[in-house]
């Protein structure tokens, strides 16, 4: 792994492009496949632009609209020892490939007693607030985390998007990177050049604090940072913990933070009921029950499909409910 | 490559019989062990379909890839999965091919090119495309054979896979072992074409229907398809007509199969019929074939005896192989 000697400011989309470029350049067994990813468009958000021109159409491979075939092709190629990066255009379409991902990719290492591992990466995007409606906007990380054998990451910064993606590509297990599209062009930060890795299972303290921990990931990291900033004026010190990696999960970081602040609010965009926040809440209660100043709170998406009307879609999102949850726990 | 029946060497003809009786011996012995309670669990016999496996696998090298289904013991054996580890895996023993963690529906023996066995109908086809894609990208000349039943030709993954394989000209052969029954449902109640192979035309690939219980005819057809894939001319849908004698799972009485159909299939049992053919055309003597049968039974008896002695996995194995690292 080369040590990054320089870095530059990039959008999240550019950072993802950079990761793909680095991976394709360093290992001939890496290839991409997905719908519309070739030039000139380079995918729905332009992430792949120029990669086909640079690496050829064999390794930046255009697929038909066939999610089961895309996922299965990635699985087979991975079992043969390659490192495919499959794009599933929108997270809701994982449902179309569900059998391949959940019954095969996740389980073939285990069912084979370790002799047919599946070192593939799935990249997918989603997020409410874009007006894409109920079938194009869901955060479904709970389903992935609920399937042993899969690894799941959700970056909130451009640097993490690059570092996590490279770690996923060179990980020997099936990894899913969830890219929240609200962040694609909204975040930009310093991204190290070259083969930059962020290890899986490592959370990041996005903001240090002492009174309460907001545990979150993806777009909601930005929401939480905004709330934390707003509360400074009232003398409230909120720590924001960006999980980055949901499976494996950095429980040490979670427990260290909540042991310190004694108050935790979990924030995620996904539907609250049965969401990953429930798992986090249970873990924290189990580990730190006697130290908690109050129960772990969850602020998540409404228990509804995501509506189209912008007024309703904004009401679905958890962002406007974070502050009141923080205040309630501090009261 | 041989495409005419007459040109097939005697050694090959006899080899097909040897593979079929090895499969038969394993299947018979395993069924017998189930009946006597020495082994438990679910078993999906492939009795009657031995040549569907043997005549195709005869063309494959160890490095070629095979994907099969829960009714895959014949494909597994024909591809070269060692019998001891296979029997042990079927019993869930820790020294089985997959540490006892997959069982009969999920056997892998990648050292022998047996890459995936799937318990979900039709799911092997997309994965076979991936194996073939890797061969193509790496220019290895490997061929992938994926076996599935007539029922699988109606699931979405079949259609997506044939389309993709054709589009990308993948070195894959789709072998539909059409045994006329999808679980308890007859072919005609599930499939809207008279022959599965007709569907090949929708995906711009050759579609061939052949008597899968005629070892020589299938050997020829399989040879053409595998050659086509190996030289880079793309996929084939090969439909091998056959029949399964023991229902969907072992224990299934098959009462839904019309008596006349069942008796006719039994009367046309491909293994004794082929034995007669080999004797009649002088490919082998009765003694040679007897020795082959005896050797097969001995090989299976040895495998079974070995497997019965093996332990089940310790509880510590529950949590291994979930990931590449020792994490949960």
Nearest-CA residue of chain B relative to A114? Answer: B321
The edge-to-edge listing of strands for the beta sheet with B207-211 is B114-118, B65-69, B144-149, B172-178, B236-241, B207-211
pLDDT score of B3: 62
Instruction: Name the A residues in 118-147 with CB < 8 Å from any B CB.
Output: none
Say if residue A148 is preceded by a cis peptide, omega within 30 of 0: no
pLDDT tens per residue across span B3-39:
678 889 999 999 999 999 999 999 999 999 999 999 9
* CA–CA separation, A124 and A87 (whole Å): 6
Q: Give mean pLDDT, residues B135-158.
A: 98
Q: Are B32 and B109 a contacting pair, CB within 8 Å?
A: no
* CA–CA separation, A35 and A44 (whole Å): 9
β-bridge mates for residue B149, sequence order? B177
pLDDT score of A5: 67
Q: Give mean pLDDT, residues B251-257.
A: 94
β-bridge mates for residue A192, sequence order? A7
* CA–CA separation, A146 and B87 (whole Å): 32
CB contact under 8 A, B129 and A73: yes
Q: Are B242 and B177 a contacting pair, CB within 8 Å?
A: yes
CB contact under 8 A, A113 and B116: no
**In chain B, what percentage of residues exceed pLDDT 70?**
99
* CA–CA separation, A84 and A74 (whole Å): 6
Residue B286 host element (H or E): helix B286-309
Query: Which chain B positions have a beta carbon within 8 Å of A148's beta carbon?
Result: 322, 328
Q: CB-based contact (8 Å) between B161 and chain A?
A: yes
pLDDT score of B6: 83
For an interface test with B, give the residue of A74, A76, A201 to mutate (most B CBs within 10 A). A76
**If you compute the radius of gyration of chain B from its CA atoms, what whole number of angstroms results?**
19
Residue B274 region by backbone torsions, left for phi larger than 0, else alpha for psi between -120 and 50, else beta: alpha
For residue A14, what pLDDT band results from cuts at 50, 70 and 90? very high
Nearest-CA residue of chain A relative to B136? Answer: A58
Q: Give mean pLDDT, residues A61-90.
A: 98
pLDDT tens per residue across span A49-72:
999 999 999 999 999 999 999 999
Strand extents, DSSP E, chain B: 65-69, 114-118, 144-149, 172-178, 181-182, 185-186, 207-211, 236-241
Helix ranges (H only) for B91-214 are 124-138, 156-167, 187-190
pLDDT tens per residue across span B206-233:
999 999 999 999 999 999 999 999 999 9
Residue B296 host element (H or E): helix B286-309
Write down the ipTM of this complex: 0.97
The edge-to-edge listing of strands for the beta sheet with A83-88 is A60-62, A30-34, A83-88, A121-126, A175-180, A151-153, A245-247
CB contact under 8 A, B100 and A113: yes
Q: CB-based contact (8 Å) between B171 and chain A?
A: no
CB contact under 8 A, B110 and A71: no
Å from B134 to nearest chain A CA?
5
**If you compute the radius of gyration of chain A from its CA atoms, what whole number of angstroms results?**
19
* CA–CA separation, B187 and B244 (whole Å): 13
Considering A104, A136, A146, A268, which one is annotated as catalytic?
A136
pLDDT score of A1: 53
pLDDT tens per residue across span A165-199:
999 999 999 999 999 999 999 999 999 999 999 99
Establish whether A285 is a catalytic residue: no
The end-to-end CA distance of chain B, in Å, is: 50
Q: Are B307 and B88 a contacting pair, CB within 8 Å?
A: yes
pTM of the prediction? Answer: 0.97
- pLDDT reading at A27 higher than 70: yes
CB contact under 8 A, A80 and B130: yes
CB contact under 8 A, B157 and A69: yes
**In chain B, what percentage of residues exceed pLDDT 90?**
98
Encode A64-87: b = buried (16+ Cβ within 10 Å), e = exposed: eebbbbbbbbbbbbbbbebbbbbb
CB contact under 8 A, B126 and A73: yes
Nearest-CA residue of chain B relative to A103? Answer: B120
pLDDT tens per residue across span B41-94:
999 999 999 999 999 999 999 999 999 999 999 999 999 999 999 999 999 999
CB atoms within 10 A of CB A5: 8
Please count the residues of chain B: 328
Contacts of A262 (CB under 8 A, 6+ apart): A288, A291, A292, A293
Give the CA dihedral A202, A205, A206, A209, nearest 10 degrees. 160
- pLDDT reading at A2 higher than 70: no
Q: CB-based contact (8 Å) between A233 and chain B?
A: no
Q: Are A191 and A9 a contacting pair, CB within 8 Å?
A: yes
Helix ranges (H only) for A46-107 are 51-55, 67-79, 98
pLDDT tens per residue across span B274-317:
999 999 999 999 999 999 999 999 999 999 999 999 999 999 99
Q: Are B291 and B297 a contacting pair, CB within 8 Å?
A: no
Taking all residues of chain A, what is their mean pLDDT, rounded to a whole number? 97
Q: Give mean pLDDT, residues A142-157.
A: 98
- pLDDT reading at B2 higher than 70: no
CB atoms within 10 A of CB A103: 16
Q: Give mean pLDDT, residues B130-154.
A: 98
- pLDDT reading at B121 higher than 70: yes
**In chain A, what percentage of residues exceed pLDDT 90?**
98
Q: Are B317 and B100 a contacting pair, CB within 8 Å?
A: yes
pLDDT score of B5: 84
Contacts of B188 (CB under 8 A, 6+ apart): none
Report in angstroms the alpha-carbon separations of A63 from A23, A86, B67, B71, B313.
Answer: 20, 10, 22, 31, 42
Q: Give mean pLDDT, residues A129-149.
A: 98
Å from A155 to nearest chain B CA?
21
Contacts of A260 (CB under 8 A, 6+ apart): A210, A213, A239
Å from B323 to nearest chain A CA?
6
Å from A257 to nearest chain B CA?
22
Å from B131 to nearest chain A CA?
4
């Amino acid at each position: 792994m080369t040590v990054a000697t320089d870095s530059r400011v990039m959008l999240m989309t550019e950072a993802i492009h950079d990761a793909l470029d680095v991976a394709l350049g360093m290992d001939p067994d890496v290839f991409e496949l997905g719908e519309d990813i070739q030039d000139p468009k380079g995918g729905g958000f332009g992430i792949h632009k120029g990669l086909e021109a640079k690496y050829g159409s064999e390794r930046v491979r255009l697929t038909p609209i066939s999610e089961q075939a895309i996922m299965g092709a990635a699985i087979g190629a991975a079992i043969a020892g390659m490192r495919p990066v499959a794009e599933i255009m929108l997270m809701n379409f994982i449902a179309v490939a569900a059998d391949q991902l959940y019954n095969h990719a996740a389980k073939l290492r285990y069912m084979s007693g370790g002799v047919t591992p599946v070192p593939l990466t799935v990249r997918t995007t989603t997020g409410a607030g874009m007006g894409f409606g109920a079938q194009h906007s869901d955060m479904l990380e709970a389903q992935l985390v609920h399937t042993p054998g899969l690894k799941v990451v959700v970056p909130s910064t451009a640097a993490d998007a690059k570092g996590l993606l490279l770690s996923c590509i060179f990980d020997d297990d099936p990894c899913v990177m969830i890219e929240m599209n609200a962040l694609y062009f909204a975040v930009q930060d310093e991204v190290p050049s070259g083969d930059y890795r962020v290890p899986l299972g490592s959370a990041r303290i996005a903001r240090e604090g002492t009174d309460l921990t907001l545990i979150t990931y993806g777009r909601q990291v930005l929401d939480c940072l905004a709330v934390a900033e707003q509360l400074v004026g009232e003398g409230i010190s909120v720590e924001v913990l960006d999980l980055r990696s949901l499976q494996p999960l950095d429980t040490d970081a979670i427990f260290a933070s909540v042991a310190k602040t004694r108050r935790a609010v979990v924030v995620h965009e996904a539907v609250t009921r049965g969401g990953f926040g429930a798992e986090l809440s249970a873990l924290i209660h189990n580990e730190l029950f006697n130290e908690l100043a109050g129960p772990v709170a969850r602020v998540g998406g409404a228990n509804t499909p995501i509506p189209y009307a912008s007024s309703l879609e904004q009401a679905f999102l958890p962002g406007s409910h974070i502050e009141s949850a923080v205040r309630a726990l501090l009261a | 490559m041989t495409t005419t029946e007459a040109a097939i060497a005697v050694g090959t003809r006899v080899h097909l019989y040897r593979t079929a009786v090895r499969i038969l011996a394993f299947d018979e012995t395993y069924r017998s062990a189930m009946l006597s309670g020495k082994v438990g669990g679910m078993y999906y016999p492939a009795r009657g379909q031995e040549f569907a496996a043997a005549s195709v696998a005869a063309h494959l090298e160890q490095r070629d890839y095979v994907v099969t289904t829960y009714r895959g013991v014949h494909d597994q054996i024909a591809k070269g999965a060692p019998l001891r580890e296979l029997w042990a895996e079927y019993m869930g023993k820790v020294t089985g091919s997959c540490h006892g963690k997959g069982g009969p529906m999920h056997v892998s023996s990648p050292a022998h090119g047996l890459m995936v066995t799937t318990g979900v109908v039709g799911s092997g086809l997309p994965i076979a495309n991936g194996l073939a894609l890797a061969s193509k990208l790496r220019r290895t000349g490997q061929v992938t054979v994926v076996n599935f039943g007539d029922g699988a030709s109606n699931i979405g993954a079949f259609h997506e896979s044939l389309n993709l394989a054709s589009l990308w000209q993948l070195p894959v052969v789709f072998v539909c072992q059409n045994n006329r029954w999808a679980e308890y449902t007859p072919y005609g109640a599930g499939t809207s074409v008279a022959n599965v192979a007709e569907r090949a035309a929708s995906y711009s690939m050759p579609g061939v229907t052949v008597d899968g219980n005629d070892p020589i005819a299938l050997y020829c057809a399989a040879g053409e398809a595998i050659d086509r894939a190996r030289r880079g001319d793309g996929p084939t849908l090969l439909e091998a007509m056959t029949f399964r004698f023991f229902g969907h799972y072992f224990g299934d009485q098959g009462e839904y199969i019309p008596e006349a159909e069942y008796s006719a299939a039994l009367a046309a049992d491909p293994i004794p019929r082929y034995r007669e053919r080999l004797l009649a055309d002088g490919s082998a003597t009765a003694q040679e074939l007897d020795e082959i049968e005896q050797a097969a039974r001995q090989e299976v008896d040895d495998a079974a005896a070995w497997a019965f002695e093996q332990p089940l996995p310790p509880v510590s194995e529950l949590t291994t192989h979930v990931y590449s690292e020792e994490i949960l």
